[in-house]
């Protein structure tokens, strides 16, 4: 089943529950013109007043977290507990920028031989956000929160399978008291998105999505001389140098990999394990996988796995597993595609993928743990960096200094020691190489779509 257009489509069954019309060109023009007027007024609003409204947005995400979790559960299959956590984290992000944004945007004095000089952080105008389906609230929050506090306007194009969550966010913005047009949700076609990027009223574009989509948006933004922020794919290494409790280490790795049914850009897609614990580690992973059973988004049991976002995604993942086997890899367990139109793939453990094969360099976006055996820290590091991606990576060891030495040489945007990932509104997120460029979250998240204007007075 190959459905297109803005729709709510139950990933467990493939049934299309509701459809939404794509904007006409005339309606889109009206949205952009109203947004441009609203942004100019918003930019003149004192930053403390903007922050107060964004603080209200944070409160509404917290208040509505159960409703929000149900929406994305129905849209893309996210487990209710994870949907609730996502709404809570989104609330934290909006609150973080409401509390800290005014100080992040404060004038920065510059020493000069004569006169006075400051670097001002001024809004640039309207910014287009192109958001993915895997974290429908969090991805929007980390893009929208700093820009709204700074004084930019937001035009938000969400994934085609997330129309209800897109509308729920827009309703929160309206209920928080943001002036009409400051945050605009559009159900736009791909052609319209290209035209929006080129539109003189748009100052920049932020995309979270695939490597292919990022290349297309970067090219369009470059042609229009617009700034772009890109958060793209990943094949993050998860290096286990040693473990006092191998079963516990495998359980943590498995739980990390299965979060959001394995559909996270910075998930631990390659488990790199030292040979003296490798066999026990893989055996523990296989046991974890075999204990899982399919269920619905409303199931809170961590032993239940949910469908992927769509049947097409499930079919792609199954085809990748078949190519892994054809290349000489081994599917130890799982990886079966359910019959019918649902998007279930049973959680899988894969070993022996030949390094250098075509499929080795592909991102596995789903419930698949790929494990690699190494015999030294140098071998682990070489394998970890043998990828076109560079989003995140982590190194585990009982010897923290050993883990630090290896992690410090990871070619990634986010290096972690003895934790699957550093997470918090205050911690920057972003990658290098084909994982994109630019940063979101933390103090630097407010430094992307900004006019760092010099203001100099002779005297």
Element housing 173 (H / E): helix 163-176
- Report the 10 Å Cβ neighbour count for 429: 26
3-state per-residue secondary structure call for 365-410:
CCCEEEEEEECCHHHHHHHHCCCCEECEEEEECCCHHHHHHHHCCC
DSSP H or E run through 227: strand 227-231
What residue spans of 177-265 are helical by DSSP H?
Answer: 190-198, 211-223, 246-258
Contact present, 154 and 123 (Cβ < 8 Å): no
Measured at the CA of 193, the angle between CA 191 and CA 198, to 5 degrees, comes to 100
Contacts of 127 (CB under 8 A, 6+ apart): 147, 152, 153, 154, 155, 202, 203, 204, 205, 206, 449
- How is residue 287 written in tokens? 């046991």
User: 16-19 and 108-110 as β-strands: parallel, antiparallel, unpaired?
Assistant: unpaired
Q: Give the Cα separation of 253 and 256 in Å (integer).
A: 5
- Is 162 tagged catalytic? no
Kindly report the number of other CB atoms within 10 A of residue 223's CB atom. Answer: 11
Place of tokens 């105008």: 125
Tell me the C-alpha distance between 43 and 449, whole Å.
13
Q: Annotated catalytic residue: which of 74, 75, 86, 231?
A: 231
Q: How far apart are CA 69 and CA 81, in angstroms?
A: 8
Q: Given the residues 82, 92, 160, 265, select the one marked as catalytic.
A: 265
Tell me if residue 265 is catalytic: yes
Give the integer Cα–Cα distance in Å for 6 and 27.
16
Catalytic site positions:
231, 265
């Amino acid at each position: 089943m190959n459905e297109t257009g803005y729709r709510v489509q139950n990933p467990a069954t493939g049934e299309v529950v509701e459809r939404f019309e794509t904007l006409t060109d005339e309606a889109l023009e009206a949205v952009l013109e109203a947004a441009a007027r609203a942004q100019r007024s918003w930019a003149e609003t004192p930053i403390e007043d903007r922050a107060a409204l964004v603080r209200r947005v944070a409160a509404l995400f917290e208040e509505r977290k159960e409703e929000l979790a149900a929406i994305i559960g129905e849209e893309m299959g996210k487990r209710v507990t994870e949907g609730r956590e996502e709404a809570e984290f989104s609330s934290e992000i909006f609150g973080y920028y409401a509390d800290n944004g005014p100080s992040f945007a404060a004038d920065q004095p510059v020493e000069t031989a004569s006169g006075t000089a400051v670097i001002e952080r001024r809004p640039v105008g309207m910014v287009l956000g192109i958001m993915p389906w895997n974290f429908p609230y969090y991805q929007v929050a980390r893009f929208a929160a700093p820009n709204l506090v700074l004084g930019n306007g937001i035009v938000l194009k969400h994934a085609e399978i997330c129309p209800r969550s897109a509308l729920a966010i827009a309703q929160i913005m309206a209920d928080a008291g943001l002036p009409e047009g400051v945050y605009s949700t559009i159900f736009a076609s791909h052609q319209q998105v290209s035209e929006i990027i080129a539109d003189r009223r748009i100052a920049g574009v932020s995309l979270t999505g695939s490597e292919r989509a990022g290349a297309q948006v970067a090219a369009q933004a470059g042609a229009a001389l617009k700034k772009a922020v890109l958060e793209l794919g990943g094949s993050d290494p998860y290096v286990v140098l040693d473990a006092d409790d191998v079963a516990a280490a495998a359980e943590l790795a498995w739980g990390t990999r299965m979060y959001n049914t394995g559909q996270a850009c910075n998930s631990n897609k390659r488990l790199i394990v030292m040979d003296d614990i490798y066999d026990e580690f893989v055996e523990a992973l296989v046991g974890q996988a075999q204990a899982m059973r399919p269920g619905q988004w409303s199931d809170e049991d961590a032993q239940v796995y949910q469908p992927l976002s769509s049947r097409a995604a499930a079919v792609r993942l199954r085809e990748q597993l078949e190519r892994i086997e054809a290349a000489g890899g081994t599917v130890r367990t799982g990886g079966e595609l359910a019959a019918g139109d649902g998007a279930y793939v049973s959680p899988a453990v894969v070993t022996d993928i030949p390094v250098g094969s075509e499929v080795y360099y592909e991102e596995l976006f789903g419930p698949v743990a790929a494990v690699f055996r190494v015999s030294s820290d140098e071998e682990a590091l070489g394998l970890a960096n043998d990828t076109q991606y560079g989003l995140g990576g982590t190194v585990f060891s009982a010897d923290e200094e050993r883990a630090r030495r290896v992690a410090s040489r990871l070619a990634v945007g986010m290096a972690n020691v003895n934790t699957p990932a550093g997470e918090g509104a205050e911690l920057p997120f972003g990658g290098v190489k084909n994982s994109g460029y630019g940063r979101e979250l933390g103090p630097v998240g407010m430094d992307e779509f900004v006019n760092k204007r010099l203001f100099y007075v002779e005297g």
